[in-house]
Structure 1
């Protein structure tokens, strides 16, 4: 296969608002280095990491919600998920669905033609379990907001599915994040899981994956999105932020809260956890600064788990769930790659229920 010397790509030039993106039609083609594959990107999902990284929201100097991050200035020392400066220019986009078109040295040529989705986490080949030596596709290396992307072969996971490219591009980040959270919290059929923000990509994945584990699931979302959330299989759906959550829940006993929202409502979520309950978190789109009464934490024997770098078994499990039809994509909308700014604006404004993808 003859590959072109250049490609279309959306380039992030620095931290800030969406004007930091630049559209290029002549960006140099990547090459597959030793141990890598070159992927023709067919679709790429959008997630909060893309927004947060662009805005520098991960910096401790930023205290507001994700949609307001650019109103504050990151201090430059810790603007990425890993707390380190990024190299620019950068091509973002971790949730890739595509086809392997070339391989680097040491990679079996039989991989050419594989349909793949990404394991977003870049790991140290000498110790795949070392979470201190990890990177993220679209952050520490270029990602899928382009026509082509070079990835370590182990991060390009073969998938066999009748789902469309856009549908498959919804799984890598949202669903692996959700499965990682549920794994850390050790969710089983004995649990009742409360999911704030259930209309979002991760929230919707939490609903499906917790139901797959046999748990009872109570979703929280704005009432305009209840019909869409119902399709994900939640046992009950509540308003986004009931004034009296305990009364609204009635006799429900919440053993797990799976949260990517945070913000001012956070103490209410902690207060309704049963004794011995677990809170698991992988985001704070409504704001990272929260109030915690330590007495609630220790007197109620609660367990808090943060979840970022997923365990090794998460992505192979997701591939198995996808191929068996045990989970379904929640594709909200797709945009041409050159309209990424419009796509991200819609994503931030939560105009849709589920995941948004871009198509090169």
Structure 2
């Protein structure tokens, strides 16, 4: 099968199109014929070696955790899925080697769910990691209807999902974004505010009593400024900065695969409460360019690779 591989840490130029054997399928896994995958910042951070102390990487590694495709073969005990099912998922295993930037991927059933019928394969591939991150961080924040939440990086992959999920829960949403993305953030259901100096004052102008929850999907000063915008008893959740937990008593989160949570995202999609924005689509052979596009930091939504 065709697959993108890299045999050492480095820049996007270490990615190459290779020919690999079709992966074996374990008892609780299925073989997915990949129709699309997507790029997340963690993909190129792993490729650059930034997470070497966290994740085992077996070279040559196939990158990618997001997938949308069709079940090609089932394992010995996978009653949840059948051959021909259209699925999507966040196929993170305990080590990184056989990723989703390939024609086939062996995926544990716990990482998959049936694809939302209303989404294309490209749109479905853009949702799992970002959607699960948004959903799980909102769950852990305890955000309730009628509360106010500040979403950092509201126009990005995770942030754009979080805005919509929070709004669907009946929360008021304020979202940080660059000026060029303010209209996009409004369309998602948030009140946009600009990054930079004076952010706390701009947030307080919109929410004089402070916000109930801060969701940090960007890092930088987001956690450091949280006490200036949170009302007493408020919560900060970060996927970037452990200070949210260690210094502010909030939550430091790492997304987990979950079929049940993917099903929850599917319900939001089918109810019209969650839409997916695909910024760019690349062919598999151009995966290095897809990584470069994600690394640029100017993506609205997600970068997708079509297989």
TM-score if structure 1 supplies the norm length?
0.78
Tell me which residue corresponds to 1:86.
57
Q: Which aligned pairs between 1:1-360 and structure 2 lie closer than 5 A?
A: 7-24=1-18, 26-58=19-51, 78=53, 83-108=54-79, 111-122=82-93, 135=94, 139-234=95-190, 236-252=191-207, 253-264=210-221, 266-283=223-240, 297=248, 303-310=249-256, 312=258, 313-360=260-307
Q: What SS does structure 1 have at the residue aligned with 2:113?
A: strand
- The CA RMSD over aligned residues, in Å, is 2.4
**Aligned mates of 1:184, 1:347 — CA distance in 2:** 27
Q: What SS does structure 1 have at the residue aligned with 2:224?
A: helix
Q: What SS does structure 2 have at the residue aligned with 1:246?
A: helix
Which structure has the larger Rg over C-alpha atoms?
A: 1
Unaligned segments of structure 2, at least 5 residues = none
**Aligned mates of 1:167, 1:189 — CA distance in 2:** 28
Q: How many Å apart are 1:325 and its aligned residue?
A: 2.9
Q: What SS does structure 1 have at the residue aligned with 2:182?
A: helix
TM-score if structure 2 supplies the norm length?
0.90
2:28 touches 2:75 (CA, 8 Å); kept in 1? yes
1:119 touches 1:157 (CA, 8 Å); kept in 2? no
Question: Which range is displaced more, 27-36 or 89-98?
Answer: 27-36
In structure 2, relative to structure 1, the CA distance for the partners of 1:229 and 1:149 (3 Å cut) is same
Structure 1 residue ranges (4+ consecutive) displaced by more than 6 angstroms after TM superposition: 290-293
Q: What SS does structure 2 have at the residue aligned with 1:250?
A: helix
**Aligned mates of 2:252, 2:298 — CA distance in 1:** 28
Count of aligned positions = 304
Q: What SS does structure 2 have at the residue aligned with 1:145?
A: coil
**Aligned mates of 1:41, 1:84 — CA distance in 2:** 24
Q: What SS does structure 2 have at the residue aligned with 1:86?
A: strand
Q: What SS does structure 2 have at the residue aligned with 1:208?
A: helix
Q: How many Å apart are 1:335 and its aligned residue?
A: 0.8
